Amino acid sequence: KNEVEQSPQNLTAQEGEFITINCSYSVGISALHWLQQHPGGGIVSLFMLSSGKKKHGRLIATINIQEKHSSLHITASHPRDSAVYICAVRIETSGSRLTFGEGTQLTVNP
Amino acid sequence: NAGVTQTPKFRVLKTGQSMTLLCAQDMNHEYMYWYRQDPGMGLRLIHYSVGEGTTAKGEVPDGYNVSRLKKQNFLLGLESAAPSQTSVYFCASSLWGRDTFYEQYFGPGTRLTVT
């Protein structure tokens, strides 16, 4: 079983819909990252959080340390949000190294 | 700033050939990483470096070697390429803080095919 599980694996939405992507992990962590991989392959960091909630534009990331769960929300989705969203955790005993989920492929149709 | 750059962007090798992938960063980051990304799997750490002159094994180090002779460069070598090493390779870098964690900045990737 992977230490980091994402759901769903694939998600198709209509423009304007509210989107939620989930990430569950099974180990103690010091931080959790959400990343976005564009169709061209480039990877950018969206959020890094260790507690609570962070917001950037239409993106919101939350984490519940007790439940070992994080969610990434996209409000008023747009076709340009179509990408792979990746959850990664920094395991407590692994220093700076990250362990990645498999990613969620999001497609937003106009 | 160019951020993190990777050379080459694409490469096709025959089984048994060798090659070196170059990663360069201009952000004065201490930490650098090499990952591979395969279909249906998350990014997996090959090797990493916590500073100039130091390297360490990651999750899938077999068949690869690395060197960090200069702080800004991190080289990934394949001595004898195998078809199982067909993948997309990403380099990343980050700052280091004793009690602070920093995001990783990724390069654009190198698509390697071994035939």
pLDDT of residue B24: 98
A29 to chain B nearest CA, in Å? 12
* A97: nearest CB among B58, B102, B105: B58
pLDDT of residue B96: 78
Q: How confident is the model at residue A1 (pLDDT cuts 50, 70, 90)?
A: low
Chain A residue set in contact with B, beta carbons under 8 Å = 2, 4, 30-31, 33, 35, 41-45, 48, 50, 86, 88, 90, 95-103
DSSP labels for A34-73? EEEE-TTS-EEEEEEESSEEEEETTEEEEEETTTTEEEEE
pLDDT of residue B99: 64
Q: How confident is the model at residue B25 (pLDDT cuts 50, 70, 90)?
A: very high
Beta strand A52-56 pairing with A59-64: antiparallel
The CA distance from B51 to B29, in Å, is 9
pLDDT of residue B46: 97
Question: pLDDT (tens digit, 9 = 90+) per residue, B67-110?
Answer: 999 999 999 999 999 999 999 999 999 987 766 678 899 999 99
As a residue count, chain B comes to 115
pLDDT of residue B113: 97
Question: pLDDT (tens digit, 9 = 90+) per residue, A68-108?
Answer: 999 999 999 999 999 999 999 998 877 778 899 999 999 99
The CA distance from A16 to A11, in Å, is 14
pLDDT of residue A40: 80
From chain B, the residues in CB contact with A98 under 8 A are 43, 45, 104
* Chain A CA closest to residue B88: A41
Beta strand B31-37 pairing with A52-56: unpaired
pLDDT of residue A95: 76
From chain B, the residues in CB contact with A103 under 8 A are 42
Q: Which residues of A31-49 are buried (b: 16+ CB within 10 A; e: fewer)?
A: bbbbbbbeeebebebbbbb
Mean pLDDT of the residues in chain B: 94
